[in-house]
Chains A and B, each alone.
Chain A
């Protein structure tokens, strides 16, 4: 997985593509941890192009959420596809994480809407 994060109105957007599984979860985690170490505190994880997530992928999202909760940062999970949403829901993640149906809604939630 090749992750190209972008900045919009002070928010770091991490687009996830393809499959977030045991094989490439580490790549995604390292990408987040690097941005977090650079001082980024506001994140949107954009799931638009993610077809599949497993528990290894959820682990990355949970690590990010815990770090940001501890540092008083924020993150929103946006644009989840069918399988990804169902896995989030099965795990109870939809109730403990901030969710948005669109990128615009995510920006608004995080206070960076236009």
Chain B
């Protein structure tokens, strides 16, 4: 359950299903980060998680082409963020993709497959549902703590 009062910023970044929209996505996140006081690194991590999900939608969401919208909804506070990403593309649950193996030798490495793995590593409380003709992805992140989930080994 999110408590709305915890999120002074509530913003929508409306994107089209094109790769060059990543620039607007990033600018939007930087703007919110500056307003709410996130570290540069927090913005980069959030940018990475959002990019990977949006790129997936751009690449695979609309196989018959055409211009479509991807809605990125951001609720932000100085210490936390909740992101919702919604699109009307083909139903696809990114959380069902297998994690990329990060231990394979160079020759055996598949090209790709790391994107959703990054999202899982960087964000908390990740949730997907298909409802009302929409792919609805939600993720949260609490800032301001040491990165306890980042095992440096």
Give chain A's interface residues, CB within 8 Å of chain B: 19, 21-23, 51-52, 54-56, 58-59, 62-63, 65-66, 69, 82-83, 86-87, 90-92, 96-97
Docked CA distance A62–B114 (Å): 12
Could you say which of A54, A65, A92 contacts B51, with CB atoms under 8 Å apart? A54
A contact residues around B20 at 8 Å (CB): 23
Indicate whether B109 reaches chain A with its CB closer than 8 angstroms.
Answer: yes
Q: B118's contact among A23, A65, A90, by CB below 8 Å, is which?
A: A90
Interface of A is mostly: helix
The answer to whether A63 and B41 touch (CB under 8 A), given A52-B48, A54-B48, A96-B105, is no
Q: Is the CB of B118 within 8 A of A92?
A: no
A82-B41, A91-B114 known; A19+B26 contact, CB < 8 A: yes
Given known A-B contacts A82-B41, A87-B118, A90-B102, A59 and B55 have beta carbons under 8 A apart: no
Most buried by B among A22, A59, A90, A96: A22
Q: Give min CB distance, B22 to chain A, whole Å.
A: 4
Taking A22-B51, A55-B118 as known contacts, 20 extra A-B pairs with beta carbons closer than 8 A to each other, sorted by chain A number, are A21-B26, A21-B51, A22-B54, A23-B20, A23-B22, A52-B44, A55-B52, A55-B112, A56-B55, A58-B114, A59-B112, A66-B109, A69-B107, A83-B41, A86-B150, A87-B118, A90-B121, A91-B100, A96-B104, A96-B105
